Amino acid sequence: MGLITAVRKDRQTKTAAKEAVRQRTLKKAVSLTGIGLHSGAEVTLTLNPAPADHGIHFHRTDVTAGASDKAAVAARWDRVADTRLCSALANDHGVTIGTVEHLMAALAGCGIDNLRIELDGPEVPVMDGSAQQFVDVIRAAGVVELSAARRVIRVLKPVAVESEQGRAELAPAAVFSVDFEIEFQSRAIRRQHLRLGVVNGAFCKELANARTFGFMHEVEAMQKAGLARGGSLDNAIVIDGDKVLNDGGLRHVDEFVRHKALDAVGDLYLAGSQIIGAYRAERAGHAINNALLRKLFADPDAWCYDVLRGDESKTAMDGGIKAEAAVV
């Protein structure tokens, strides 16, 4: 992926900035409307261009009390307040933004560094259960480069977390890649493994349209508990025993592990910048992904801010990473 000049923390020279890949935002604002997966309420989301070094911030337009900054929530790992059914953010004033992972994955995959995201409800709309419609509106709006250099987070040494649910790790690498394995008793899923260098548009080509999934008995239980009110066959793959209930079946034979990789891309983009490193996981979810970021940032010797030089469209092959998939 071109040359990477290591710059400890925020030390960046003018020369490096001139040669570096530049930050990006949208050319114009764009909106879309959909249903919240857990709330079941209609939500309108607007993606607005933002200046260099602004980062990605959410703003709840339905929160009117007090100053406008009280309705703002930064898209950062240290603002993740709940990981039980999604990645949900919260600010110090109790304002929350739920189900951010699919949108964050689309922003990561499209290389968007700065954005003001407005929404009139507590949850990002689920759309079709994938990141594809977010990618589509980003492409429709267009992307513009800014004058400032893109800052990336380079992994300097391996870090890992593990629980009864699964495990995940980040290790030094020349490019960002995901290596994910899942296993379920259902014959509709079984064991699936995906290894992918997430560069050269690979996210949009290989992961963006992979939908979230769940089992019928779990969906029914959540809906009885007042959760997943917006869940349906229109926005999720639903499995009953060994059978996929959706008309048309799957978009990929390994769509389940592709979606788990999509979730990981979105969760890891809450680092605040693109990560340069290898992510490996087994049965990991939102909680493990956030715990991994917290462990990374807790160790100042495990990471640094870098300036990314060269052509960012270099393929994963340049880093020795091929796209691999297996279903057993």
Q: What angle do CA 299, 180, 122 make, to 5 degrees?
A: 75
Phi, then psi, of 244 in degrees rounded to 5: -85, 125
Tokens read off for 76 = 């950062």
Query: Which residues contact residue 253 at a Cβ distance below 8 angstroms, ignoring those fewer than 6 apart?
Result: 327
What number of other Cβ atoms are within 10 A of residue 237's Cβ? Answer: 24
Residue type, 189: I
Q: At what angle do helices 255-268 and 286-298 cross, to 10 degrees?
A: 40
Pairing of strands 213-215, 159-162: unpaired
Q: Which of 38, 57, 259, 286 is catalytic?
A: 286
Question: Looking at the DSSP assignment, which residues form a beta bridge with residue 74?
Answer: 57
286 classed as catalytic = yes
Pairing of strands 159-162, 274-276: unpaired
Residue type, 290: N
Give how far the C-alpha of residue 288 lies from the chain's centroid of Cα atoms, to the nearest Å.
14
Pairing of strands 80-82, 88-90: antiparallel
Q: What is the dihedral of CA 226, 227, 230, 232, to 10 degrees?
A: -110
Q: Please, what's the largest Cα pairwise distance for the chain?
A: 59
Catalytic residue set: 286
